[in-house]
Chains A and B, each alone.
Chain A
């Protein structure tokens, strides 16, 4: 589904952000990307739907090359759902309109059809009653669930999560993770940047560990949590799992 091969990204030749990153996500797979901050994990996931450009290498999503200038990026992105760290709901639109906008403008769905789909997804994330409110009236956890519903409304073939719980108060983390776990159980293809190792243990198929722009470890979940091969991954795990 997602093929990342030999991706390099730099701002200046001496400031390399991603170095020779190669990995893939197959259909139905849940891949968790973790690593210390500044390791390039968010940058890598943003390269997948071309929100960040990269200088060399190839990324393709469902057979379409992301870095090909001839690729219709809006069309490609409409099939790749993305959830951001800071939710990024549109503050001037009601919750339901946040869900309808792209359905109507990108997929050309009728207002009625978009509304029906939007309400169905809001019900699924448990926020049907909030449809007529504005994003600012919702808590962080609720906003992030709306953001997930907004991405799902486009019927994506794959979902990207960029630290979806990092900006949340601790007591709201689980309500968002629950939605994500359900999604994983339904067979959605997911690439998730997160520090939530509990989530990784529960639903991930593979775990990728990044450090200083490199993919240091790319292993099946059991292998990663069992005994990471690299020192850096071991150190990282011991730090975040010790509490």
Chain B
């Protein structure tokens, strides 16, 4: 059955797959996770703040993002960002935003909705006595969050945050709708050029599987090491 498969095509395509494709995928994953965490934490703080309006805005945003398919958001954003940019800067023509910038913004905004729910759970897992003690020492709200609440929330939630990042790593392959050469995109280009669909897609699956598996294993190791003893 595998007699007429040519696995050498993979070896020949390796530099292209990894230098072009995987570099893009990992960069996008890393930056989107970082941006999503920062923005998501801000959303979580808004939701937990005493100000009803801020909480409502964050809530609507999160629900909105979570009820749309990611592919659709990527697609829409790619077409909308140039016009939003034009509207913000008042330029005469739509601003040209590269496919990378566009997809990065999309992923940050989309992931922020998920990260915010994780961070919200993390912040709520901290007993109310902790911020009270910090306040009693004279720390301001911002300092209390920065030095006492968020570090603990982040540690408690780190395994979940990384698991979400693994999902994000797989989701970045959806940028194919913008014809971007991420890892899967690169594999698919080679596959179609050489007519070696089975080999290339098999190889792509193995690579995604291996990286995700190693990361999941790492999470478990990390969890044991970083957990705060109580």
The interface of chain A, by Cβ under 8 A from chain B, is: 49, 51, 73-82, 84, 86, 88-92, 101-102, 105-107, 134, 136-137, 150-151, 154
Contact = CB atoms under 8 A, between A and B. Distances in A.
Contacts of B148: 90, 101
A102 B138 contact: yes
Given A90-B148, A92-B155, A92-B228, A106 B133 contact: no
A74 B129 contact: no
Interface stretch (B16-24, B97-105, B139-147): B139-147
Main SS class of interface, B = helix
Nearest to B154: A92
B228 A74 contact: no
25 contacts: A49-B136, A51-B132, A51-B135, A51-B136, A73-B135, A74-B139, A76-B138, A77-B135, A77-B136, A77-B138, A78-B138, A82-B136, A84-B129, A88-B127, A90-B133, A90-B152, A92-B151, A92-B152, A101-B137, A102-B134, A102-B138, A105-B143, A106-B139, A106-B143, A134-B229
Given A90-B134, A91-B152, A91-B230, 9 more contacts: A51-B132, A73-B135, A74-B138, A77-B138, A88-B127, A90-B130, A102-B134, A102-B139, A134-B229
> Among A80, A81, A102, A150, which residue has the most Cβ atoms of chain B within 10 A?
A102
A88 B138 contact: no
A91 B228 contact: yes
Contacts of B136: 49, 51, 77, 80-82, 84, 151
Task: Classify chain B's interface size.
Answer: 20 to 34
Contacts of A49: 136
A205 B133 CA distance: 27
Nearest to A153: B137
A77 B141 CA distance: 13
A79 B152 CA distance: 26
A105 B129 contact: no
Most buried by A among B134, B135, B138, B229: B138
Given A134-B229, A136-B228, A136-B230, A88 B129 contact: yes
Contacts of A76: 138
A172 to B, nearest CB: 18
